[in-house]
Amino acid sequence: MKLLQYLGSRFVAYIAVLFIGVTITFFLPRLMPSDPIEGYIAQMQNQAGQTITPEAMDELRVQLRRLYGLEGSLVEQYINYINKVVLQFDFGPSLYSYPRPVAEFIWTALPWTLGLLGVSIVISWIIGNFIGLLAGFFHNSRFATTLEVVGVVIYPIPYYILALLLILQFAYIWQWFPLSTTIRPGPLTWEKVNAIIYNSFLPAMTLIIAGFGWNILSMKALAFATKEEPYVVFARLKGVKPRRIMTRYVFRNATLPQITALALSIGTIFNGALLTEILFSYPGLGLLMRTAIGSGDFNLMYGTIIVSIVSVATAAFFIDLIYPLIDPRIRLR
């Protein structure tokens, strides 16, 4: 019963986060000073090189506002937005790539972002916690002090600064990797897989290095505190081997707060992934979002932002569901 209450509260929080995020996404583009319809009409006139009669202009403006959900009052637009975008997950056509639908852009870019984020989160979390465990358990050694210094140095470096440093060193000076991601479209072959790994190495390395600094510091503090707990001291007095104490007693208990911290930090890591994609011209949601904002494409902005919100909230929700399987105290309360 307690477990069901916990899962129910997590699900309610998940729905609330989605609702608030989707609502904010609706209002933010409408607070922008530019009108995307007028901008599109002006661009179309410049490209066509001819004038349009006032009657035809008014009819075009009405049709575009109806097409892109900008017709009616703000309340009517919001209701239509919830019904079409949220319930049907239909973002309509792109404003500046008409008639190509926004969903096509998103489904093309989403696997790149999820792949980059998933790999970087797993590697960063594993490496950071392993180094932090060693630094906390062997806190008196010089090696542990060195590891802690590494975490202190890396943690405050922003994603974009680290990305620029890696680009400067590995792509510009040493020229080991390309300055921007260049992957040709086509079927998935071994050559293309190698090209994807090669082009994704620097973006992934940026997220991994920027992410495991905090994991080192937090796990080091948790491991140091856990090793002084009575049950660990009792195991040490019984003659349990230090490696077993470190893995079975210290790590298993110190890792529980780290899982919670992982759920809370997914949003920050996701934002870092989007910014990293822009710097590396990586074909994910970050680059797509920059294109949408630069062109004032409402529908494309809606799509990328909403998918980002759903991805982060869903990942945090699944971690909350997994947590009771790791910590039996939640199942018993």
pLDDT tens digits, one per residue of 206-245: 888 887 778 888 888 888 888 888 888 888 888 888 888 8
Which of the pair, 323 or 166, is modelled with greater confidence? 166
Q: Identify the band that residue 178 occupies on the pLDDT scale cut at 50, 70 and 90.
A: confident
Specify whether the CB–CB gap between 183 and 283 falls below 8 A.
Answer: yes
Specify whether the CB–CB gap between 284 and 277 falls below 8 A.
Answer: yes
Q: What is the CATH number of the domain that holds 248?
A: 1.10.3720.10
**C-alpha to C-alpha distance for 71 and 75, rounded to whole angstroms:** 10
How far does Cα 128 stand from its chain's mean position?
A: 18
Structural domain range at position 176 = 102-332
* 36 domain-assigned: no
Q: Kindly tell me if the per-residue pLDDT of 69 is higher than 60.
A: yes
- Long-range contacts for 152-158 (Cβ within 8 Å, ≥24 apart)? 152/213, 152/217, 153/213, 154/209, 154/210, 154/212, 154/213, 154/216, 155/213, 155/214, 155/216, 155/217, 156/213, 157/210, 157/213, 158/210
* 126 domain-assigned: yes
* 300 domain-assigned: yes
* 109 domain-assigned: yes
**C-alpha to C-alpha distance for 211 and 154, rounded to whole angstroms:** 9
Q: Identify the band that residue 185 occupies on the pLDDT scale cut at 50, 70 and 90.
A: low
Q: Kindly tell me if the per-residue pLDDT of 184 is higher than 70.
A: no
**C-alpha to C-alpha distance for 273 and 286, rounded to whole angstroms:** 7
- Identify the burial level of 103 via C-beta atoms within 10 angstroms of its C-beta, where 0-12 means exposed, 13-18 middle and 19 or more buried: middle
Q: Kindly tell me if the per-residue pLDDT of 11 is higher than 70.
A: yes
Q: Identify the band that residue 160 occupies on the pLDDT scale cut at 50, 70 and 90.
A: confident
* 25 domain-assigned: no
**In degrees rounded to 5, what are phi and psi of residue 270?**
-65, -40
**C-alpha to C-alpha distance for 301 and 289, rounded to whole angstroms:** 6
**C-alpha to C-alpha distance for 94 and 299, rounded to whole angstroms:** 6
Q: Kindly tell me if the per-residue pLDDT of 33 is higher than 70.
A: no
- Encoded amino acid at 217, one letter: L
- Encoded amino acid at 72, one letter: G
Q: For 46-66, how does the pLDDT look when each residue is reduced to its tens digit (9 = 90+)?
A: 665 556 666 666 676 777 777
Alpha carbon distances (Å) from 171 to 75, 193, 272, 274, 328: 50, 20, 20, 20, 48
Model confidence pTM above 0.95: no
Looking at the 3D structure of the chain, how many domains does it have?
A: 1
* 291 domain-assigned: yes
* 154 domain-assigned: yes
Q: For 101-136, how does the pLDDT look when each residue is reduced to its tens digit (9 = 90+)?
A: 888 888 888 888 888 888 888 888 888 888 888 888
Q: Kindly tell me if the per-residue pLDDT of 333 is higher than 60.
A: no
Q: For 294-316, how does the pLDDT look when each residue is reduced to its tens digit (9 = 90+)?
A: 776 777 887 888 888 888 888 88
* 119 domain-assigned: yes
Which of the pair, 180 or 281, is modelled with greater confidence? 281
Neighbours of 217 (CB within 10 A): 22
Q: Kindly tell me if the per-residue pLDDT of 329 is higher than 70.
A: no
Which residues lie closer than 8 Å to 147 by C-beta, 6 or more apart? 131, 132, 134, 135, 216, 220
